[in-house]
Structure 1
Amino acid sequence: MSFGTYARRVRDQALPYGRRYTSLRCAVGHYKPLGFNATWNHITSRAGQVRTDEAALLRALDILETSREARLAEMAAFALRRKAEREYVVEIVSDIHRALEDLNRPGSAVHAAYGRFLADNPNFLTTTGQRVISYWSCYHRSAYPRLREYPGHLLVSALRAASARS
C-alpha cells in the first residue's frame, strides 16, 4: 500500500487504535528520510506518547506528512532545474566546439595540446564519449535522431581525431 493509504488509516477513527498505530509505523516505512528507527524516534519524541494518545498519534502523522511534502516539493523543484539545465547542453557544447575550431586543424597548437592530453589519458576520452552517447540517448535523441549530427558527438569525434594523430 501507499503512504497516503496508511496516512488515511491513521486518521480513520472507525479503525481500532492499534491498527491506526501500526498504520503510522507503516507510513514511516514508506517515508523514512533518516532511516526507519531515526525517523520513528524523531516524530515520536516530538509528538508524544503515540502508543496511547490519539492527539500525539495525529501530531506524529502531521510531522511526517509535513516533512514528506517538503521533500516532494524539493524534488519537484530539482527536477525543473535539471530540465532547464539540460536545455542548455547543446548550446554549451556547440560554443566549446566553436571555441576549439583549431582542434580540427592538424598541426595547430590546440590540436597538438588536446591530442597529447587525450593520447596520455585514453580512459578520459572513452568515458567522455560514453557519457555523450548516454546523454544524447536520454535527452536529445528526438532533436538529433542521428548520433553523428549531435553537437556533443561532433566534439568527441574531433577530440578522437586529435588523439589519433598525436
Structure 2
Amino acid sequence: MIKPRDKAPELTIKLVNDTTWKLSEQSPENFTMVLFYRGKHCPVCKSQLEELQKKLDKFTQRGVSVIAISSDTEDVAKATYKDWDISDIPLGYGLPIEEAREWGLFISEGIKEEPKHFTEPGLFLITPEQTVYWESLQSMPFGRPSFNDVLGGIDYILKADYPARGEA
C-alpha cells in the first residue's frame, strides 16, 4: 500500500497519440493528477472523464497536470478517445495489472462484456518530487470524488500550505 508522502511508483505509459508518458519526467507547478479509470466498458468512467474535460482548464490554472489511464488495449483506448468527449485529456492505456496493484488499485474480474481483468477507479495527486500527496481509491465504479471537491481541496492546500495527511 502506498501512503501519502511515499515516493510514487514509476509509471511509464503509452498514450493514444502514439507518445509515451513518464511520471518521472513530469514537472507540474503543483501536482500531477493521475486518474485511473476502469475502461471503455464503464459508463460512469465516460461521465467522469467528460466532466474532467469540462474542468481541465481549472486544474491547469492551479498548476495541476492531468492524465487518465486504463488497462484497456491500444485499440480500445483509441476508440474511447474518439468516441468520448475528452479531446484534451492525455489518455494512457495498457496499464499492467501488476503495476496497478503496486498503486494499491482494486482489480476486478470481468463479467458480461468487460475485459478479463481491469482496475477500479483511483485518483492520485503527485507532487513535483514524485511523492504521493492525495489518494482516493474505489472498489466499485460508484462514489468517486467530485472534481469540484478536488479543486476546492487543491485551493485550500495551496492557500494554507497544507501538508499531505494519512502518512502515520
Q: What TM-score, normalized to structure 2?
A: 0.21
Rg larger in 1 or in 2? 1
Return the structure number with greater relative CO, CA threshold 8 A, min gap 6: 2
Which one has a larger percent helix, Structure 1 or Structure 2? 1
Which one has a larger percent strand, Structure 1 or Structure 2? 2
